[in-house]
């Protein structure tokens, strides 16, 4: 992985386990001192072409806890608005010799395209509707904090699967470890081809089926900005695909509820569920930093 982290799909189990194990050591309860100087003198550029608060902040904190210097650039403040091409922007940044570039972009494959031209390691912090590898890693870390293994777990992923990079990265990761993945959403957000992306994936349009005996329920944000024909009103969407307390009796008794955030209460998840004991949403945020520390260490550490 010295070349960066573009996605989960190309990784093997050993690499993923390595990051997850290491991330555990970075969890707050495992360590007394919050900060180390492992990456002192290293420079990480967070380049966000798409609005993001939590992922950018999480990467910044991860870098700083390892002693690295991190600067964050958002597209609106950069020369992108002056018509500079993506390649030129990245070449310019590359010439300043950062040790890694953390990048989020609205176009699927944008980091893959740049990785072909740039020697700097690129960490994909979400590319369009393709992958969001650190999200899947932090989700796996969060599940493994509560379950001994991913193997055999039944994981329901519910919402706008078609446009979800979170769903794709999670599908690849969970599948590599032998989980059963049930994808659920409205027909126009659930292309049948999804079932062929990895072993162990099934599809349903019925929420009740997806949740039955689930160990993990992952809710996805409704991405209005990516839906060109909104076929469901907010009310209708919540009726059919919003997670409510009454659904929880169908899942395993100790099932957990996850969400990559930001959550839309009353849209895809009810407040009662989001705030319930089953919800591990804030643990996900916490693990986000630990996992990103592990990734940065892996890519930049000696």
Partner 1 sequence: MSKLTIRNGRVMDPASGLDAVRDVAIEDGRIAAIGQDLDAAGANELDATGLIVAPGFIDMHVHLREPGFEHAETIESGSRAAAAGGFTSICCMPNTSPVNDNATVTSYIIERAGRHAVVNVFPIGAITKGSAGEQLAAIGLMKEAGIIAISDDGRPVMNARVMRRAMETAQSFGLPVIDHCEDLHLSAGGDMNEGVPSVRLGLRGIPAASEDVMVARDILLAELTGARFHVAHISSRHSVEMVAFAKARGLAVTSEATPHHFALTDGEMPPYDSNFKMKPPLRSTCDVAAITAGLVSGAVDAIATDHAPHAGSEKMQEFEQCPFGILGLETAIGITLERLVHPGKITLMRMIELFTTGPDSVLHLHRGRLLIGAPADITIFDTGRSWTFDVNRSCSKSRNSPFDGHSFRGGPVATIVHGKLVWSLDHVALGVPAASQ
Between residue 132 and residue 161, which ones bind partner 1 under the rule CB under 8 A? none
Q: Residues binding partner 1: what is the number (CB under 8 A)?
A: 25
Among 141, 168, 221, 247, binds partner 1 (CB under 8 A): 168
Contact 205, 187 (CB under 8 A): yes
Among 112, 212, 250, 298, binds partner 1 (CB under 8 A): 112
Residue 17's H or E segment, with its range, is helix 13-26
Among 53, 85, 202, 239, binds partner 1 (CB under 8 A): 85
Residue 87 makes contact with partner 1 by CB under 8 A: yes
> What mask, x for binding partner 1 by CB under 8 A, covers residues 264 to 283?
--------------------
The distance of closest approach from Cβ of residue 205 to partner 1 in the complex, given in angstroms and rounded to an integer, is 17
User: Which range, of 176-184, 186-194, 232-240, 293-301, touches partner 1 by CB under 8 A?
Assistant: 186-194
* CA-closest candidate to residue 24, choices 297, 272, 227: 297
Overall residue count recorded for the chain in this entry: 302
Residue 89 makes contact with partner 1 by CB under 8 A: no
Within 10 angstroms of residue 7's Cβ, the number of other Cβ atoms is 20
Secondary structure (3-state) at 184: strand
User: Which range, of 18-26, 52-60, 127-135, 150-158, touches partner 1 by CB under 8 A?
Assistant: 127-135
User: Which range, of 26-34, 123-131, 181-189, 214-222, touches partner 1 by CB under 8 A?
Assistant: 123-131
E strand map for the chain: 4-5, 43-48, 69-74, 100-105, 122-127, 154-158, 180-184, 201-204, 216-219, 256-258
- Bridge pairing between strands 216-219 and 122-127: unpaired
**Radius of gyration for the chain, computed over Cα atoms and rounded to the nearest angstrom:** 19
Q: What residues line the site for partner 1 (CB under 8 A)?
A: 9, 85-87, 105, 107-110, 112-113, 127-131, 162, 165, 168, 191, 193-194, 196-197, 228
């Amino acid at each position: 992985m010295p070349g960066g982290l573009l996605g989960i799909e190309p990784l093997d189990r050993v690499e993923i386990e390595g990051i997850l194990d290491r991330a555990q050591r970075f969890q707050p309860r495992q360590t007394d001192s919050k900060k180390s100087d492992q990456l002192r003198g290293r420079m990480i550029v967070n380049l966000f072409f798409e609005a993001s608060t939590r992922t950018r902040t999480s990467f910044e904190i991860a870098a700083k806890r390892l002693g690295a210097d991190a600067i964050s650039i958002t597209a609106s403040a950069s020369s992108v608005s002056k018509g500079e091409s993506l390649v030129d922007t990245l070449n310019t940044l590359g010439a300043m010799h950062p040790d890694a570039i953390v990048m989020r972009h609205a176009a699927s494959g944008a980091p893959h395209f740049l990785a072909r031209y740039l020697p700097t390691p690129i960490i994909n912090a979400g590319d369009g509707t393709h992958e969001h590898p650190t999200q899947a890693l932090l989700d796996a870390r969060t599940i493994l904090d509560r379950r001994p293994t991913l193997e055999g777990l039944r994981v329901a992923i519910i919402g706008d699967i078609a446009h979800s990079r979170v769903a794709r990265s999670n599908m690849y990761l969970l599948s590599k470890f032998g989980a059963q993945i049930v994808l659920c959403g409205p027909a126009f957000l659930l292309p049948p081809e999804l079932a062929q992306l990895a072993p162990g994936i099934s599809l349903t349009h019925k929420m009740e089926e997806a949740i039955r005996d689930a160990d993990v329920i992952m809710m996805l944000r409704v991405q209005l900005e990516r839906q060109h024909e909104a076929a469901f009103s907010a009310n209708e969407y919540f009726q059919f695909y919003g997670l409510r307390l009454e659904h929880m009796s169908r899942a395993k008794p100790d099932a957990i509820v996850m969400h990559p955030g930001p959550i839309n209460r009353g849209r895809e998840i009810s407040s009662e569920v989001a705030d319930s004991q089953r919800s591990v949403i804030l643990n996900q945020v916490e693990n986000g930093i630990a996992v990103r520390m592990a990734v940065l260490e892996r890519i930049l550490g000696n």
